[in-house]
Amino acid sequence: MEGADKIVYLAAAMAAAGVVFIADLWLPVHSAIAALYMIVVVIIAGGGLQKLVVPAGAACLILTVIAYFISPVTAANPHAAPDLIISDLVIACVTALAFRLSLQTAPLIAAEREAHEARRISEERYSAIFHQSPVSIWESDWTRVFAHMRATGITSESLRASTDAISVLRNLGSTHIANKATARLFGTDSPDAMAGKTFVAHYMPSTEAALAEIFATFLEGGQMREVETQFRTAKGKVIDVLWRATLLQGQSEWSRVLITAIDVTDHNQARAKLEQAAADLAHAARVSTLGQLSASIAHEVSQPLAAIKTYGESAKRWLAAPTPDLTEVGLCLDGVVANSTRASEILARVRSLARKDTPEPEPFDLAGLIAESVRMLQREANAHATHIRELVEPGLPVAFANRVQIQQVVVNLVLNAIQAMDKIDGRPREVVISLSMAPNQMVNIEVRDNGTGIALENPNEIFQPFHTTKANGMGMGLAICRSIVEAHGGAIRAENNIGMGAAVCFTVPTEVRIADTTQRHPLGDVGRAKDPMASSTIAAGELSRKLGDSPQGFTTPTKH
């Protein structure tokens, strides 16, 4: 009990003692009126003044005796002496009882005092943490939201299918309390100004979809949902926010919802820059690969051009004949058109590799991509006396990825396999490209050679930046391949064959997997612009880190 409260109890006891003393002194009442002094003792004991219980009882006894001797009504009261004795006995008994109870309750009172103090310190600590936290935190009451959804039959499925109901639901919540970080995040004057209000004024169109997902999760029995969305500050700035809502125990359904918000705008901007840097690096690698294949590309283009020339000359001869054969001329022109188309397709493939576009996923036939890549590399394979064989499992689903980047990986791996067998003599040089189904609706692509293998204890170290044995190589090709594969949600690994050579395998997602993932996680990243290559953050980030940390010129004895 606080000191001020004790003073109040002490003053009340003294006032009561004065009133009883005056009444005992002047009132001509033939009864033990002095027994009312027990009220004084009770007040002292009830006020937690244990040390004053006995002194207070003794003082009351003294006042009783004084009143007996100086009272003008004592002589007229034949029961004055018995009343004195009764009053003193009552006061003594009450004092003794109060003293005994005070001894018994003293530990309880002390414990209560300690608990009260601990609670006060805890509340102060919580308040300090709450308001000084750099993370935006607020508590909302969504009782009316829950009641409206129950009354109107809104379900989690309907919320995810359409956000029409959100225009009403978003206005039914209210804020209990918000911390200072929340005021800074939204640019308001103070957290107190947010009490009793909603955040609707700061909503963006994507916020409603995020809110619908949170409501749907709670309706399904979930206790927490985290989504990424956008808000608009009081100054009009659009910010990316990682928004988490947690359902707490309250007096009624959804009466306490703890919400946190973390500003990830700078993080997303840095991630976008990192992804762009990774894309630029991959583009530079593709252009470098095209430089290595320039002779093959020139040879492949020269074939349809030579055919066009031949068909054109033939058409001229048929037209110059005494009797022009228009049927033959037509066949020659068909040959010109067909080879023109072929040359155009070859140049289109080269341009697609050299083009610097934003990587977007698309459905495509992996077997066709492999065949196209083999044609592109055929002259290089011939120059190294290498045979390329394709093994395609029938019935493979359509792949869903960025076609240009997957072709870049295939070309890089096959080119490495061809070059890994440069010093092989006495046995045929062969590269086998296999396509097969992998777990989790992924397609596995394997490039296997019969060279000398990978001279590393852990073959997967070849995917580390700057690992190369080429005199003019930078050791970035396989590192870029890994970042591309992982950006698509796949995995890449290397291993030595049991006999000779090595193999590199990687997986690519299919349309079936993408559709299944979309159904199971319809709003996994609510509110943020959908970036099909957003998962490249991790791979590109690791690559960027290693580019900054790896020593220049580090090489390992490997043929890949």
What whole-number distance in Å separates Cα of residue 294 and Cα of residue 350?
Answer: 10
In DSSP terms, which residues pair with 195 in a beta bridge?
none
Q: Identify the pLDDT of residue 125.
A: 84
CA 520, 361, 435, 448 dihedral sign is negative
Q: Identify the pLDDT of residue 40.
A: 83
Q: Identify the pLDDT of residue 56.
A: 85
Task: Report the candidate in 239, 186, 259, 262 with the shortest Cα–Cα distance to residue 528.
Answer: 239
pTM for the whole thing? Answer: 0.47
**Neighbouring C-alpha atoms within 13 Å toward the C-beta of 69:** 5
Is the pLDDT assigned to residue 518 strictly greater than 70? Answer: no
Average pLDDT of the segment spanning 145-167: 89
**Neighbouring C-alpha atoms within 13 Å toward the C-beta of 473:** 23
Is the pLDDT assigned to residue 201 strictly greater than 70? Answer: yes
The answer to whether 483 and 540 have CB atoms below 8 angstroms apart is yes
Give whole-number Cα distances, 466 to 474, 493, 549, in Å.
6, 17, 11
Of the spans 359-363, 404-408, 417-421, 490-494, which averages the highest pLDDT?
490-494
The region of weakest confidence among 248-252, 397-401, 480-484, 545-549 is 545-549
Average pLDDT of the segment spanning 463-470: 66
Average pLDDT of the segment spanning 397-414: 88
Output 244 or 383, whichever has higher pLDDT: 244
H or E element in which residue 447 lies: strand 442-449
Q: pLDDT for 280-331, tens place per residue?
A: 666 666 666 555 556 556 656 666 787 788 778 888 888 888 888 888 888 8
The answer to whether 350 and 329 have CB atoms below 8 angstroms apart is no
What is the pLDDT confidence band of residue 244, given thresholds at 50, 70 and 90?
Answer: very high
Average pLDDT of the segment spanning 509-535: 50
Is the pLDDT assigned to residue 263 strictly greater than 80? Answer: yes
Query: CB-based contacts of 471: which residues, under 8 Å, 6+ apart?
Result: none
Q: Identify the pLDDT of residue 544.
A: 38
Task: Report the candidate in 138, 137, 203 with the shortest Cα–Cα distance to residue 526.
Answer: 203
Is the pLDDT assigned to residue 542 strictly greater than 70? Answer: no
Both tokens of 239, joined, read 């910010």
Residue 221, sorted as left (phi over 0), alpha (psi -120 to 50) or beta, turns out to be: left
The region of weakest confidence among 120-134, 350-364, 466-480 is 466-480
Q: Position of tokens 């299918």? A: 161
Per-domain boundaries in the chain: 3-125, 133-255, 265-357, 362-512
Task: Report the candidate in 462, 460, 432 with the shortest Cα–Cα distance to residue 445.
Answer: 432
Give the 3-state secondary structure percentages of the chain, helix then strand then coil, rounded to 5: 55, 15, 30
The region of weakest confidence among 150-159, 412-421, 475-484, 526-535 is 526-535
What is the pLDDT confidence band of residue 495, given thresholds at 50, 70 and 90?
Answer: very high
Q: Identify the pLDDT of residue 217.
A: 93
Average pLDDT of the segment spanning 52-66: 84
What is the pLDDT confidence band of residue 505, given thresholds at 50, 70 and 90?
Answer: very high
Both tokens of 542, joined, read 């690791």
Is the pLDDT assigned to residue 389 strictly greater than 90? Answer: yes
Is the pLDDT assigned to residue 559 strictly greater than 60? Answer: no
The CATH code that applies to domain 133-255 is 3.30.450.20
Is the pLDDT assigned to residue 440 strictly greater than 70? Answer: yes
The region of weakest confidence among 107-111, 176-180, 206-210 is 107-111
Is the pLDDT assigned to residue 549 strictly greater than 50? Answer: no
**Neighbouring C-alpha atoms within 13 Å toward the C-beta of 214:** 30
Q: Identify the pLDDT of residue 69.
A: 81
The two domains 133-255 and 265-357 share their CATH topology (first three levels equal):
no
Classify domain 362-512 at the CATH class level: alpha beta
- Entry field: residues in the chain: 560
Q: pLDDT for 321-358, tens place per residue?
A: 888 888 888 888 888 888 788 777 767 666 665 555 55
What is the pLDDT confidence band of residue 560, given thresholds at 50, 70 and 90?
Answer: very low
User: Structurally, what CATH architecture does the domain formed by 265-357 represent?
Assistant: Orthogonal Bundle (1.10)
What whole-number distance in Å separates Cα of residue 496 and Cα of residue 321?
Answer: 64
Q: Identify the pLDDT of residue 60.
A: 85
Q: pLDDT for 15-45, tens place per residue?
A: 888 888 887 777 766 556 667 778 888 888 7
Q: What percent of the chain has pLDDT over 90?
A: 19
What whole-number distance in Å separates Cα of residue 478 and Cα of residue 322?
Answer: 63
Average pLDDT taken over every residue of the chain: 78
Q: Identify the pLDDT of residue 99.
A: 79
Q: Identify the pLDDT of residue 523.
A: 45
Q: Identify the pLDDT of residue 295.
A: 54
Task: Report the candidate in 472, 483, 432, 449 with the shortest Cα–Cα distance to residue 559.
Answer: 449
Q: Identify the pLDDT of residue 370.
A: 92
What is the pLDDT confidence band of residue 494, given thresholds at 50, 70 and 90?
Answer: very high
Q: Identify the pLDDT of residue 45.
A: 78
Is the pLDDT assigned to residue 371 strictly greater than 80? Answer: yes
Q: Identify the pLDDT of residue 399.
A: 93
What whole-number distance in Å separates Cα of residue 25 and Cα of residue 68?
Answer: 7
Beta strand pairing call for 257-263 and 238-247 = antiparallel
Q: Identify the pLDDT of residue 522.
A: 46
Is the pLDDT assigned to residue 445 strictly greater than 90? Answer: yes
The answer to whether 145 and 173 have CB atoms below 8 angstroms apart is yes
